[in-house]
Amino acid sequence: MVAALDSGLEFYRQVLALRGYRQEILAADIANASTPGFKSVDLDFAAALKAAGAGSSGPLWLVDDARHLQPGGGAAGGVPAGAAGMVKYEAGNEVTLDGNSVDLDRAKMKSAENAVDYEAAATFAAQTLKMLQIAINGSPGQQANGG
């Protein structure tokens, strides 16, 4: 029975870890919006989630520059294995004269959407834990009535 509880919560752990990792990547894009030669990258979330064993918009290319796969926190921060391999160059962004391909408005929008998705996953995880607590301990009304 403990394994079933753990596996149900493992999905949320992986989703939250991947959302946090994607936020780091998007923040790096925003921070490097004026860095000459910087190429915009993003995490292919669906592929990363599938690779993690749990459940993209626009065409993406595989990242071939290892420097783009090392955001601060990286895999040591609890990111599921293989997630760094799902970070890909974004296709379709205009490249400026200095070689930068970050669309700042698009990166900010994606970052905000990812933050909302992170909050939703955290809320679902908290509600799941609350339901498990009620299933184990009974509802507060039952405890007050001695039943």
pLDDT band at 140 (very low <50, low <70, confident <90, very high): confident
pLDDT band at 146 (very low <50, low <70, confident <90, very high): low
Q: Which amino acid is at 56?
A: S
H or E element at residue 21 = helix 2-31
pLDDT digits (tens, 9 = 90+) for 22-53: 999 999 999 999 999 999 999 999 999 888 87
Which pTM value belongs to this model? 0.74
Task: State how far the Cα of 40 lies from the Cα of 80, in Å rounded to an integer.
Answer: 22
Beta strand pairing call for 60-62 and 41-43: unpaired
Helix or strand or coil: residue 97?
Answer: coil
Whether the predicted pLDDT of 142 surpasses 60? yes
Q: Write phi, then psi, for 144 (nearest 5 degrees).
A: -70, -30
Query: Which tokens go with 34?
Result: 């004026």
Task: State how far the Cα of 73 lies from the Cα of 146, in Å rounded to an integer.
Answer: 48
Query: Which tokens go with 109?
Result: 């929008």
Which residues touch 92 (CB under 8 Å, ≥6 apart)?
A: 58, 59
Q: Where are the domains of the chain?
A: 2-138
